[in-house]
Amino acid sequence: MVHLGACLTLISIMLIPLPALARNRATTAEIVGLLEDTTGGVLPGATVSTVNLDDGLVRSGVSDGAGRYHILLLPPGRYDVRAELAGFDTVELGEVTLTVGASRTINFRLAPAGVTEEITVTAQTSVVETTTDTSDVTLDSQAISNLPINGRRFHDFVSLTPTAQVEPQRGQISLAGQRGINGNISIDGADYNQPFFGGIRGGERSQFTFTIPQEAIREFRVVKAGYSPEFGRSTGGLVNAITKSGANGTSGSVFYLLRPEKLAAKNAFLQDAAPTQHQFGGSLGGALVRDRAFYFAAYEQQEFKAPREVRFVRLDGFTPTAASREGYDHFRRFETPFEVTNDSRAWLARADFNLTNAHRFNIRYNGSTNKALNSDGVGGVITPTTHRSLETNGTEEDSTQTAVGQFTSAPASDLVFELRGQYSREDRPRLANALKPLVDLSLGEFGTRSFRPTTQYDWRAQAGGNVTWLAGGHSLKAGFDYNHVFIDQKFGFFQNG
């Protein structure tokens, strides 16, 4: 039995160049740049404003004495960007898309008033992203929706990024050669790690288990190195995801995916082993109050079953005698077909509030349940057999709940605040089909596996925040992270002999 409580408080103060801020944004993005006149002279006092095309959020910044401006804490999305100064024509930039953690540099050149009333240019020719490490990879909602995947687990897409691979032992994501347990997975700025086994909450014990709807993930960024201390105590890279939110327009989705066993080829030698898998769900989002309050919800479910068979191949070439007939028949009785299942449900609800253009708050709740019968069944579609009797098998169960809240404030263009907190819990029993002493023969295995039954329960309470003050081309950032984790693990080997 293991009882483990861990509490970590991190307080950091950083003085960093302004371009480095992009790597310090867990859930937002930023726009920075320079304003000049047509002769190349800098323009202090010019106003650059952004309007979110989805939820109407308005933010602005004013250029300093060197012509520099910066707009921080912008939620990822589509923006119109406008620059204006008395005595000069207004320049408006068409649709600009910001992704999580991105820092876009937009430089404006304003002409004296009277040349034209307004200039509209396209984002493609005026926006560059020079302040973000190109080794970082971002996958947006379009890629997540269109790329093929088996299991509805968004983090499987991480393996498409450079240096990423799946560890063969535990199935965790390894970045840049680091062990998966050393990485950090963050969703909406809060840790989403399984504290005992490592990896994403829910873990990798049951294949194709998901604990958050894929339909609810807006995008995620994979950062292999060089991220800020506020992202956690990890050396193995960061997967930073954000969930979807509602918008002024109502939108939703419905899907049903079927993989029937009838479409698989017949196995000419053994029991047909093709699985049957159903995946279905949907999402809905919209506005409660236009430009002010929004909702989003998603639900997904999976039903999976695959036929397997207990078979002792060492008996196939054995001809029993009268003396061995009783033992032969005894072991043959353990040979039987059975099903491996993996049924999962995951749901999410989120609400966002633009309290003012300077203050924003959101809250998210998500949960999941998973049940996998005979989850220790070995064998695949080609060889769907195992030498372990059914009584050595068992059921994997998992249930999770997470609540996250975040408040952001930008009282001035050079001063921003962020506060966030979460509470999450997980219960992971591993049940046994039988409680008997383990007998391991060259013929096969009988009785209870050495590690069953076990239970594992944990909860996490986390609070964090930071304040950023900008001064010219530099920024001063101070913050804290309080992370309290409790783990109750009952793990006894050979409990039944």
Q: Which of 82, 85, 84, 108 is nearest to 96 (CA)?
A: 82
Sketch out the chain's domains with CATH numbers.
18-128 (2.60.40.1120), 137-490 (no CATH)
Is the C-alpha dihedral spanning 40, 46, 51, 57 positive or negative?
positive
pLDDT value, residue 401: 96
pLDDT value, residue 166: 76
* 236 close to 182: Cβ distance less than 8 angstroms: yes
pLDDT value, residue 125: 36
Residue with tokens 């995951």, as numbered in its chain? 346
Which H/E stretch holds residue 145? helix 141-146
Task: Tell me the sheet residues that pair with 81.
Answer: 50, 93
Which regions of the chain are under pLDDT 50?
1-4, 14-24, 122-126, 130
pLDDT digits (tens, 9 = 90+) for 480-495: 889 999 999 887 888 8
Q: What is residue 454's DSSP assignment?
A: B
The two structure tokens encoding residue 307: 């036929």
pLDDT value, residue 23: 45
pLDDT value, residue 346: 96
* 482 close to 462: Cβ distance less than 8 angstroms: yes
The two structure tokens encoding residue 339: 């099903």
Q: Which of 352, 348, 350 is nearest to 367 (CA)?
A: 348
pTM of the full structure: 0.87
pLDDT value, residue 235: 74
